[in-house]
């Protein structure tokens, strides 16, 4: 996996208020880890969309990471709202995550993040166009 990092994105993280930059950078690191473990993606591109860090692969749907002034104690990972991604995440992990409509997984600043489950969500997004035709995007319900 070739990860194409962007210095403008790193600069964008510095504009978020404390304590958000390390939390958002942690989400970025999870995206990089997931992408590095994906066998069929040639590259992950880091860019800015709507002035927010965004990550995309050729076979996937864009993942964005952001903090919003309107909810200063929260930060989120955003997904394309016209996909089945967040509905699938809700089906799989409704007891672990909080969701914003059909577009985001939302974290409060003191939340402990379920890392393996979030990595699974990131993986589904980064491979979405390859799996979008599968029930639950090819994922199995927990405990089944």
pLDDT in tens, 33-92: 999 988 765 789 999 999 999 999 989 999 999 999 999 999 999 999 999 999 999 999
In a domain, 138, yes or no: no
- pLDDT tier for residue 144 given thresholds of 50, 70 and 90: low
In a domain, 59, yes or no: yes
pTM of the entire structure?
Answer: 0.93
Q: Please write the tens of the pLDDT for every residue from 112-139.
A: 999 999 999 999 999 999 999 988 898 8
Give 53: exposed, middle or buried? Use CB within 10 Å, 0-12, 13-18, 19+. Answer: buried
Question: Is the Cβ–Cβ distance between 47 and 57 less than 8 Å?
Answer: no
In a domain, 93, yes or no: yes
- pLDDT tier for residue 142 given thresholds of 50, 70 and 90: low
Kindly report each contact of residues 2-5 with a partner whose C-beta sits within 8 Å and lies 24 or more positions away, as own/partner: 2/42, 2/43, 2/44, 3/32, 3/35, 3/36, 3/43, 3/44, 3/46, 4/43, 4/44, 4/45, 4/46, 5/46
CA distance 133 to 83: 11
- For residue 15, the domain's CATH number is 3.90.1150.200
In a domain, 108, yes or no: yes
In a domain, 60, yes or no: yes
As for how many domains the chain has, the answer is: 1
**Residue 65 sits in which domain range?**
2-131
């Amino acid at each position: 996996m070739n990860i194409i990092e962007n210095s403008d994105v790193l600069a964008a993280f510095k504009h978020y208020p404390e304590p958000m930059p390390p939390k958002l950078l942690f989400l970025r690191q999870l995206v990089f880890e997931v992408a590095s473990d994906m066998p069929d993606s040639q590259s992950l591109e880091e860019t800015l969309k709507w002035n927010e860090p965004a990550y995309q692969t050729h076979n996937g749907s864009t993942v964005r990471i952001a903090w919003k002034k309107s909810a200063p104690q929260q930060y989120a990972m955003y997904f394309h709202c016209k996909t089945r991604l967040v509905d699938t995440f809700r089906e799989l992990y409704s007891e672990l995550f909080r969701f914003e409509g059909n577009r985001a997984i939302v974290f409060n600043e003191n939340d402990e993040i379920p890392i393996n489950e979030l990595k699974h969500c990131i993986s589904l997004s980064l491979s979405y166009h390859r799996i979008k035709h599968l029930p639950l995007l090819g994922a199995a319900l927990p405990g089944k």
